[in-house]
């Protein structure tokens, strides 16, 4: 909760105003000073209680008698309330890292937290330098590492990249290469838990996939691990319907999940590919996410059938060399639908809720078929 302390210069007493506040609540708070023979128009913000450290120094100039400023303060308070602990730490560090010139800049910053990264528990040049060496960002032979000037290494990086040491760690703005494209969807979200996450965050860390190699390295740094195998995946969420029901969520590997997310992203860019993948999953029934990734990589071995038995019968003949002229000549003398129905069974075509699907290399086993051909 964000709370303003209102008073006048030189006064020993003041009144608290919880945000967000209605115009009536603001008026009531200011009217309190009238009972002390203090002009309410002299009332100003003299302090702030907030989860965001030093927020008061950035908003103390706001005018509590301005309905416009109160509306902005309310938006700010609501934004802070919706932040998790990691986002609050980023916000606090970003305030110190940027040149803030008034309330508008503070409110605007709440909508751009994704432009920043935080390296938790790093509060000095020395700690930053040690982190850069330990993670391999600055590559030094292990034999010389005990003799390195970590403070100088961290100070050099700080000078080049800017940022600030906030209450939750080192915060800096992402470079242009680190910016996640706005159009990229969160296709898989993994909720990760580590000792550092448990100690510094209110909830598991959310890893958004697909991600670049650099984004994955940054995530490792933020949760305090060298390898994702050191983290516990407590939950996986999928950004497309039906995937959660068709992809197993036991024994998930972060790297496989990222490759799968990249594959799904490519599928969404080609008409019918995601439906084909869903149909494949429903028939193949993968036992692990690694199996699901394998089916995604082998998707060209499957064909999604969008035609009925009549058209399928004709396509079978085309596979054997018949051209359109021959098919036209045969029309009326051959039951294409019957041929199509028999060929679907022979080809192992399966009926799924996502449409008909067949495996091109080796047909699905006949003994497990559940497809109903009638009425096609």
Residues 243-263: pLDDT tens digits?
999 999 888 999 999 999 999
Residue 189: strand pairing partners? 208, 237
Is the per-residue pLDDT at 190 higher than 80? Answer: yes
121 occurs within a structural domain: no
The string of pLDDT tens digits covering residues 159-171 is 999 999 988 899 9
State the pLDDT at residue 37.
73
Q: How far is CA 192 from CA 155, 224, 230, in A?
A: 31, 11, 10
Does 317 lie in the same domain as 279? no
Does 237 lie in the same domain as 206? yes
Is the per-residue pLDDT at 370 higher than 60? Answer: no
> Per the structure block, which two tokens stand in for 259?
């490759």
Rounded CA separation 305/316 (Å): 12
| Packing angle, helices 254-267 and 273-284, rounded to 10 | 130
Section 194-204 average pLDDT: 83
- Kindly report the pTM of this predicted structure: 0.50
212 occurs within a structural domain: yes
- The number of angstroms, rounded, from the C-alpha of 167 to the middle of its chain's C-alpha atoms is 24
Rounded CA separation 350/372 (Å): 9
Among 232, 230, 262, 274, smallest CA distance to 249 is for 232
Contact 119, 165 (CB under 8 A): no
184 occurs within a structural domain: no
Highest mean pLDDT: which range of 62-71, 94-103, 219-228, 272-281: 272-281
> Per the structure block, which two tokens stand in for 130?
């040690």
Rounded CA separation 3/17 (Å): 6
Rounded CA separation 375/334 (Å): 19
The last residue of a domain, from among 58, 82, 106 = 82
Is the per-residue pLDDT at 297 higher than 90? Answer: yes
State the pLDDT at residue 335.
75
State the pLDDT at residue 306.
76
Section 285-301 average pLDDT: 94
Does 327 lie in the same domain as 315? yes
374 occurs within a structural domain: no
Residue 292 phi/psi, 5-degree rounding, is -60, -40
Section 305-316 average pLDDT: 74
Rounded CA separation 71/21 (Å): 9
- Sequence-distant (6+) residues with CB within 8 A of 267 are 273, 274, 276, 277, 296, 299
Q: Is 32 helix (H, G, I), strand (E, B) or coil?
A: helix
251 occurs within a structural domain: yes
Does 227 lie in the same domain as 214? yes
Share of the chain above pLDDT 90, in %: 34
The count of residues in the chain is 376
Which pLDDT band, with edges at 50, 70 and 90, does 176 fall under?
Answer: low
113 occurs within a structural domain: no
Q: Mean pLDDT across the chain, nearest whole number? A: 85
Does 348 lie in the same domain as 266? no
Is the per-residue pLDDT at 177 higher than 70? Answer: no
Q: Lowest mean pLDDT: which of 59-68, 107-116, 125-134, 308-317?
A: 308-317
Contact 349, 356 (CB under 8 A): yes
Contact 33, 40 (CB under 8 A): yes
Longest dimension (CA), the chain: 105
Does 316 lie in the same domain as 256? no
Residue 18 host element (H or E): strand 15-19
Query: What's the start-to-end Cα distance of the chain, in Å?
Result: 62
Is the per-residue pLDDT at 374 higher than 50? Answer: no
Does 224 lie in the same domain as 273? yes
State the pLDDT at residue 251.
85
The string of pLDDT tens digits covering residues 118-150 is 998 899 999 999 998 888 788 888 888 889 999
Is the per-residue pLDDT at 275 higher than 50? Answer: yes
167 occurs within a structural domain: no
The last residue of a domain, from among 269, 297, 325 = 297
Section 250-278 average pLDDT: 92
Is the per-residue pLDDT at 78 higher than 80? Answer: yes
Does 352 lie in the same domain as 253? no
Section 295-304 average pLDDT: 93
State the pLDDT at residue 375.
40
Q: Range of 27's domain? A: 2-82
Does 290 lie in the same domain as 205? yes
Rounded CA separation 365/213 (Å): 40
Ordered DSSP codes for 198-220: HHH-SSPEEEEES--HHHHHHHH
Does 293 lie in the same domain as 312? no
20 occurs within a structural domain: yes
> Per the structure block, which two tokens stand in for 217?
């390295």
The last residue of a domain, from among 82, 105, 129 = 82
Does 243 lie in the same domain as 343? no
The domain tally of the chain equals: 3
Section 43-56 average pLDDT: 86
């Amino acid at each position: 909760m964000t709370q303003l302390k209102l008073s006048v210069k030189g006064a020993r007493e003041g009144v608290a105003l919880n945000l967000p506040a209605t115009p009536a609540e603001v008026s009531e708070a200011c009217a309190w000073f009238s009972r002390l023979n203090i002009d309410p128009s002299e009332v100003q913000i003299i302090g702030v209680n907030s989860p965001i450290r030093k927020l008061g120094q950035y908003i103390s100039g706001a005018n509590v008698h301005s309905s416009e400023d109160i509306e902005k303060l309310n938006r700010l308070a609501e934004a802070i309330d919706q932040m998790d602990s990691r986002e609050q730490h980023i916000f606090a560090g970003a305030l110190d890292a940027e040149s803030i010139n008034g309330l508008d800049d503070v409110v605007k910053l709440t909508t751009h937290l994704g432009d920043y990264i935080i390296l938790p528990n790093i509060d000095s040049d020395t700690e930053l330098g040690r982190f850069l060496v330990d993670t391999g960002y600055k590559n030094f032979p292990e034999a010389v590492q005990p003799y390195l000037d970590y403070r100088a290494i961290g100070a050099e990086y700080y000078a080049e990249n800017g940022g600030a040491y906030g209450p939750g760690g080192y915060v800096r703005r992402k470079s242009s290469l680190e910016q996640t494209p706005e159009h990229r969807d969160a296709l898989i979200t993994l909720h990760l838990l580590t000792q550092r996450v448990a100690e510094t965050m209110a909830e598991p860390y959310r890893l958004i996939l697909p991600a670049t190699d650099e984004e994955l390295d940054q995530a490792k740094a933020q949760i305090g691990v060298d390898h994702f195998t050191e983290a516990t995946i407590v939950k996986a969420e999928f950004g497309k319907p039906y995937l959660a029901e068709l992809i197993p969520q036991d024994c998930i590997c972060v790297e496989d999940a990222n490759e799968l997310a990249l594959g799904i992203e490519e599928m969404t860019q080609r008409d019918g590919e995601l439906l084909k993948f869903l149909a494949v999953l429903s028939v193949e029934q993968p036992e692990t996410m690694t199996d699901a990734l394998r089916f995604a990589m082998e998707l060209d071995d499957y064909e999604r059938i969008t035609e009925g038995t009549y058209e399928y019968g004709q396509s079978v003949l085309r596979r054997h060399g018949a051209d359109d002229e021959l098919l036209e000549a045969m029309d009326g003398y051959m039951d294409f639908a019957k041929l199509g129905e028999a060929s679907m069974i022979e080809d192992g075509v399966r009926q799924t809720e996502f449409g008909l699907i067949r495996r091109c290399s080796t047909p699905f086993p006949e003994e497990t078929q559940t497809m109903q051909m009638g009425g096609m």
